[in-house]
Amino acid sequence: MARAWYLVQSKPRNEMRALENLVRQGYETYLPLMEVERLQRGKLLKKMEPLFPRYLFLHLEEGNDNWGPIRSTMGVAGLVRFGQAYAVVSDDVLEAVRVRTQDVKKALFTPGDSIRVVSGPLLGLEGVFDITDGEQRSFVLLEFMQKQQRVSVSTADLRAGL
């Protein structure tokens, strides 16, 4: 019988507990992680966090109907379903996730890069990338009111300057 990847939802902030307990029971699992930088007490700390908070992948025989041990695993909230069918993730999608998480350590911008704000309230402004601020925001230096200002903006709003 063919094997398939299923989507498991963990309890809040219990991805690692769910992963460890599923592995301990002999299941093949995958939890994609990414490196994020957090500012804590004035220090920039790097740590690994789940790419998809509260979700991990489980490799099982397709058509498996013994879900009890999985659902009762500590850290697991349940399996993701669409109607009566459990969510199956194709090998191609999982391979794409694996490739992307291997490249995640490469930063989009490095300090000193020229940037342009392409959306949001600062649309059209150009400046210099300073540093990342968590996983979704960055500090940039923008020429604003005849002075260079350090501003926090959404990283998604930035593009490399020309």
12 CB contacts (<8 Å, ≥6 apart)?
54
The structural domain count of the chain equals 2
| pLDDT value at residue 102 | 75
- Looking at residue 150, which CATH number applies to its domain? 2.30.30.30
- 147 and 98 in a common domain: no
For residues 38 and 53, what is the distance between their CA atoms, to the nearest angstrom?
Answer: 16
- 13 and 51 in a common domain: yes
- 122 and 49 in a common domain: no
* 162 residues of the chain, pLDDT tens digit each: 688 999 999 999 999 999 999 999 999 999 998 877 777 776 777 788 899 999 999 999 877 778 999 999 999 999 999 999 999 999 999 998 888 777 554 567 888 889 998 888 888 889 999 988 877 889 999 987 788 899 999 888 888 876
What is the pTM assigned to this prediction?
A: 0.61
| pLDDT value at residue 103 | 58
Query: Residue 70 is part of which domain span?
Result: 3-102
For residues 29 and 7, what is the distance between their CA atoms, to the nearest angstrom?
Answer: 10
pLDDT in tens, 49-61: 899 999 999 999 8
- 118 and 96 in a common domain: no
| pLDDT value at residue 108 | 74
- Looking at residue 37, which CATH number applies to its domain? 3.30.70.940
- 67 and 140 in a common domain: no
pLDDT in tens, 8-17: 999 999 999 9
Q: Using an 8 Å Cβ cutoff, are 120 and 151 in contact?
A: no
Using DSSP bridges, classify how beta strands 147-154 and 158-160 pair: parallel, antiparallel or unpaired: unpaired
